[in-house]
């Protein structure tokens, strides 16, 4: 059904249910099958994958059922890569159960990268240093969503006391500087040295105010949320107040290139990559990378944005220019991270064919050269 939907073909859910009841699920009611489908959607969502529209992810899928469904999904899709699609709508559309909300976090501005940052606890060499993101990582499988609210001493008047973003967290955490690529962003976030990676971010339309717009009595929901993620007593009230507020997918810079296998893990000095033994997993991500770069719509939009920025179609590494868009390629710099995130045209780099080939001329094709490395190679005469 998911393959049919992605391909744009009509799905008759009634016919599918009828077929299932005529086979191995003869003793199940249509309602039971419907709920099973929602369980599958919930597990797909926790894995960072797409699900069939109309089967909203169910809440309270037990750990045993989650493990069984996840294992079956991995078996059935081992040689298939699904490119996630941007989903907008309302909070209730994206988070159908309040149990999937981990809590709230005070921030001073909208999320600008695929990380949620915290202060370290104690010495960087102590076991407690990463305790806040580590605690969040353990909850991601069941409650992956966090609502960010403007608060703290650095918050601007524009965002103070407003619901800003909805973030879906990853279980990967570590030094903020390792989870990011952009040196300017690393410098800006230096005062928050630890972070947990984010898979997706949505903006709340109009950044509604807690008191005036959402009806909360006061801002005490933020108490303690400057230091970490909390689940306040008003979480049910907040969920209901925000449930029908429109959400818009946030277009953020491409995420750092690392492997996220869905299990809590601390990143050290080196970002995790596909294990050598996991050849099939590597093939899956490589196919996903190729599918992204060959997506005609994404490629056209990425090239359009490139032309607007540079005046003509321009290689972002060597600055080769052409009036013919076909003379340049769209390249995705983060094949590992894209498996759990929506790809936007802004994430693609426009390269000439020579620089594109060079980007992939590495020992590990899932770790292409980044734009800084490509620019140095081009400046040296492309040896």
CA distance 232 to 242: 15
Quick check: is 366 in a domain?
A: yes
> Do both 330 and 209 map to the same domain?
no
For residues 285-295, give the mean pLDDT. 80
> Do both 221 and 129 map to the same domain?
yes
Quick check: is 158 in a domain?
A: yes
> Do both 36 and 99 map to the same domain?
no
Task: State residue 9's pLDDT score.
Answer: 64
Q: Are strands 194-204 and 163-175 parallel, antiparallel or unpaired?
A: antiparallel
> Do both 105 and 44 map to the same domain?
no
Of the candidates 21, 54, 76, which is a domain's last residue? Answer: 76
CA distance 343 to 203: 17
> Do both 198 and 54 map to the same domain?
no
CA distance 179 to 318: 27
CA distance 383 to 375: 12
> Do both 185 and 246 map to the same domain?
yes
Least confident residue range of 82-86, 206-210, 285-289: 82-86
Contact 21, 33 (CB under 8 A): yes
Quick check: is 83 in a domain?
A: no
Tell me, what DSSP letter sits at residue 270?
A: S
Of the candidates 26, 44, 76, which is a domain's last residue? Answer: 76
Task: State residue 78's pLDDT score.
Answer: 65
- The residue written with tokens 């995790």 in the block is 272
Quick check: is 27 in a domain?
A: yes
Range of the domain at 303: 279-379
Residue 73 confidence (pLDDT) above 90: no
Q: Are strands 321-322 and 246-249 parallel, antiparallel or unpaired?
A: unpaired
Per-residue model confidence as pLDDT tens digits over 112-136:
999 999 999 988 888 799 999 999 9
Per-residue model confidence as pLDDT tens digits over 189-219:
999 999 999 999 999 999 999 999 999 998 8
Secondary element (H or E) of residue 168? strand 163-175
Query: What is the domain-level CATH number for residue 102?
Result: 3.10.590
CA distance 201 to 90: 13
Residue 84 confidence (pLDDT) above 60: no
Of the candidates 76, 98, 117, which is a domain's last residue? Answer: 76
Quick check: is 271 in a domain?
A: no
The pair phi, psi for residue 349, each rounded to 5°, is -100, 140
> Do both 367 and 287 map to the same domain?
yes
> Do both 113 and 174 map to the same domain?
yes
Top pLDDT among 338 and 85 is at 338
CA distance 289 to 6: 17
Global pTM value = 0.74
> Do both 234 and 285 map to the same domain?
no
Per-residue model confidence as pLDDT tens digits over 298-342:
899 999 999 999 999 999 999 999 999 999 999 999 887 765 667
Quick check: is 355 in a domain?
A: yes
* Nearest of 176, 179, 173 to residue 190 by alpha carbon: 176
Quick check: is 274 in a domain?
A: no
Burial category of 55 from C-beta neighbours within 10 Å (exposed 0-12, middle 13-18, buried 19 and up): buried
* 3-state percent breakdown (helix, strand, coil) of the chain, nearest 5: 35, 15, 45
> Do both 310 and 255 map to the same domain?
no
Quick check: is 207 in a domain?
A: yes
Banded pLDDT at 43 (limits 50, 70, 90): confident
> Do both 39 and 172 map to the same domain?
no
> Do both 262 and 372 map to the same domain?
no
The count of domains in the chain is: 3
């Amino acid at each position: 059904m998911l393959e049919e939907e992605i391909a744009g073909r009509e799905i008759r859910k009634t016919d599918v249910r009828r077929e299932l009841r005529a086979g191995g699920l003869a003793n199940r009611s249509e309602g039971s099958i419907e709920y099973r489908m929602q369980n599958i959607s919930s597990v797909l969502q926790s894995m960072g994958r797409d699900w069939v529209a109309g089967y909203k992810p169910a809440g309270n899928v037990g750990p045993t059922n989650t493990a069984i469904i996840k294992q079956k999904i991995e078996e059935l899709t081992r040689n298939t890569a699904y490119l996630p699609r941007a989903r907008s709508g309302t909070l209730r559309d994206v988070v159908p159960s309040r149990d999937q909300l981990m809590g709230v976090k005070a921030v001073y501005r909208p999320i600008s990268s695929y990380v949620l940052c915290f202060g370290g606890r104690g010495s960087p060499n102590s076991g407690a240093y990463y305790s806040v993101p580590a605690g969040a990582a353990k909850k991601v499988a069941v409650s992956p969503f966090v609502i960010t609210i403007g608060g703290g001493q650095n918050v601007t008047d524009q965002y103070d006391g407003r619901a800003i973003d909805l973030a879906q967290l990853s279980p990967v955490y570590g030094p903020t500087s390792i989870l990011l690529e952009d040196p300017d962003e690393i410098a800006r976030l230096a005062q928050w040295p630890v972070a947990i990676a984010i898979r997706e971010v949505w903006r709340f339309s109009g950044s509604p105010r807690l008191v005036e717009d959402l009806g909360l009595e006061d801002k005490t929901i933020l108490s303690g949320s400057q230091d970490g993620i909390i689940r306040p007593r008003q979480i049910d009230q907040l969920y209901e107040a925000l449930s029908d507020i429109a959400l818009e997918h946030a277009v953020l810079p491409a995420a750092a290139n690392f492997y996220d296998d869905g299990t809590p893990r601390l990143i050290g000095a080196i970002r995790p990559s596909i294990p050598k033994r996991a050849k099939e997993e590597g093939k899956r991500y490589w196919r996903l990378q190729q599918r992204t770069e060959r997506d005609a719509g994404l490629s056209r939009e990425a090239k359009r944005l490139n032309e607007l920025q540079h005046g003509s179609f321009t290689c972002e590494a060597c600055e080769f220019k052409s009036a013919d868009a076909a003379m340049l390629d769209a390249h995705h710099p983060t094949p590992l991270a894209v498996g759990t995130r929506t790809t936007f045209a802004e994430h693609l780099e426009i390269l000439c064919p020579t620089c594109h080939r060079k980007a992939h001329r590495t020992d590990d094709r899932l770790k292409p050269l980044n734009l800084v490395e490509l620019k140095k190679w081009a400046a040296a005469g492309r040896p």
